[in-house]
Amino acid sequence: MITIRNLTMTYRTAHGEHQAVKGVSIEIKQGQFYTLLGPSGCGKTTILRCVAGLEHPDGGEIQIGGRTVYSGANRTWVPPHDRNIGMVFQSYAIWPHMTVFENVAFPLRHKKPKPNRAEIRDRVAKALSLVHLGGLEDRPAPYLSGGQQQRLALARALVAEPRVLLLDEPLSNLDAKLREEMRLEIRQVVERLGVTTLFVTHEQIEALTMSDVMSVMNDGRIIQEGSPAEIYAKPKGAFVADFIGRSNFLAGKITALAGSNGSATATVDTPIGPVHARVEAEAQIGDTVTVAIRPENVALLPHGPQPSHNEFAGTMDTIVYVGNLLDCIVTVGGEKVRLQLQPSAAVDRGTQVRLAFPVEYCLALRA
């Protein structure tokens, strides 16, 4: 439904040039919920704005529903008002001089052919009830709460039945509780209408819970694309491993390799000793890698049993109570290892503990 090929975009300001998008290609299928995730300044919003036609890219090609809306090579350019898209802005961009009804009716009044009055009224009412704002038609737009404005923006983006819905960090201005509610609600509405959605966010939780497919971006490039489960379980590279969830990192060199066909295991020489970790099939002995393991996958062992591999002795350094779990840091051979424990776990600061890194959760990531 949306095809982006080799998109590049440079901002030219008084302070010089900044290449925000460095050759990005994306293919979004009909009805898919696709998320661009990345730190601020990574170029994700720029891509979204290029799709909307609010920025002029330097090169590449953008197609929406098979129609080329931008092509650097053919000098094709379709202005935003002819692209037939819906968009929710970060600030919601609710027009304060109009009522709720007028805000939602606006896209219909600029549609060709223009629907008649009765139809407009009908479709506005439908869109508003879709987002649970039915009955608020006559209210001046500024008299809405933040959450209501968010719903209004969604209704306005969807009322003209666009082929594509663009969401630019729409949840970032809401408080935590409302944000959680709206995550579900947006996902449900989009699913019900089957509209293809491109979503931009810097919150990993939003990307993980809402997307069919997500991409992690950094510095104008896509680092990894996949389903949320794939990306969480098999981050490609230290940036993704650290950006999605949290990870402990141990730098080292591969000293031995075992296994084959996608389930290779490497022995990595790290500052705390040899660690066994899963590795890509292409890895070679002598490669420099970073071993990543998430805090929730580090296990605390009872004292006693014979030391086997991937087990390490350390000192409990810090214990922070965060309600549903204990966030702990253990010093192992000079390295700090973070792990999460049940609140009921009996641990004390300064005591000796033993940690296990289950091999299936250890990933050796090549730089």
Partner 1 sequence: MATITADKPVLPTKKPSFQLDLTSSSLIGLTLVATGAILVLVGVVLWLSFTEGTPGDPVLQYTLEHYRSLFLDGFTYRVLWNTVLFSLTTLATSFCLAIPIAWLMERTDFPAKPIVFTLMTTALLIPSFAVALGWVFLLHPKIGMINQGLVALFGLSEAPFDISNIFAMGVVEGMNLTPLSFVMTAVVLRSMDPALEEAAAISGAKPWQAVLRITARVLLPGLLAAAIYVAMIGFAAFDVPAILGLTRRIFTFSTYVFWVLTPSEGAPEYGSVACLSVIMIALAAFLSWCYRQAQRQAPKYAVVTGKAYRPRIATLGKWRGAAILFVALYFIVAQLLPLLMLAWASLLPYLQTPSLAALQSVSLRNFLNLPQALLWRAGSNTAILMVVVPTITLTASVAISWVVLRTRIKARGIFDFLAFLPLAIPAIVFSVAALLLALFVMRHFAPIYGTIWILIIVYAVARLSYGTRMTNSALIQIHRELEESAQVCGAATGSVLRRVLVPLLAPSLAYAWIWIALLTYRELTLPVVISTSNNLPFSYLVWGFVQASAYGSASAAALLMLCLMLPVLLLYWLVARRAGMIAPR
Binding site for partner 1 (CB under 8 A): 6, 8, 10, 19, 22-23, 25-28, 52-54, 56, 58-60, 70, 72-73, 75-77, 79-87, 89-93, 95-97, 106-107, 110-111, 153, 156-157, 160, 166, 213, 215, 221-222, 225
CB of 290 to partner 1, least distance (A): 20
Q: How many CA atoms lie within 13 A of 270 on its CB side?
A: 26
**For residues 4 and 353, which CB has a smaller minimum distance to partner 1 in the complex?**
4
Cβ atoms 300, 346 nearer than 8 A:
no
CB of 23 to partner 1, least distance (A): 3
Secondary-structure percent of the chain, ordered helix, strand, coil, rounded to 5: 25, 40, 35
Q: How are strands ordered across the β-sheet holding 16-28?
A: 16-28, 2-13, 59-64, 67-71, 76-77
CB of 141 to partner 1, least distance (A): 11
**For residues 41 and 274, which CB has a smaller minimum distance to partner 1 in the complex?**
41
- Token couple for 154: 């969604």
**For residues 25 and 263, which CB has a smaller minimum distance to partner 1 in the complex?**
25
What distance in Å separates the CA atoms of residue 28 and residue 37, rounded to the nearest whole number?
A: 15
**For residues 78 and 257, which CB has a smaller minimum distance to partner 1 in the complex?**
78
**For residues 121 and 221, which CB has a smaller minimum distance to partner 1 in the complex?**
221
What distance in Å separates the CA atoms of residue 352 and residue 331, rounded to the nearest whole number?
A: 10
CB of 319 to partner 1, least distance (A): 37
What distance in Å separates the CA atoms of residue 67 and residue 175, rounded to the nearest whole number?
A: 38
In eight-state DSSP terms, residue 140 is: B
* Closest by Cα among 305, 299, 279 to 290: 279
**For residues 26 and 186, which CB has a smaller minimum distance to partner 1 in the complex?**
26
Q: Return the number of other C-beta atoms located less than 10 Å from residue 144's C-beta.
A: 19
Task: For residue 176, count CB atoms less than 10 angstroms from its CB and return exposed for 0-12, middle for 13-18, buried for 19 or more.
Answer: exposed
**For residues 146 and 271, which CB has a smaller minimum distance to partner 1 in the complex?**
146
In the block, tokens 């209210």 appear at: 139
CB of 145 to partner 1, least distance (A): 18
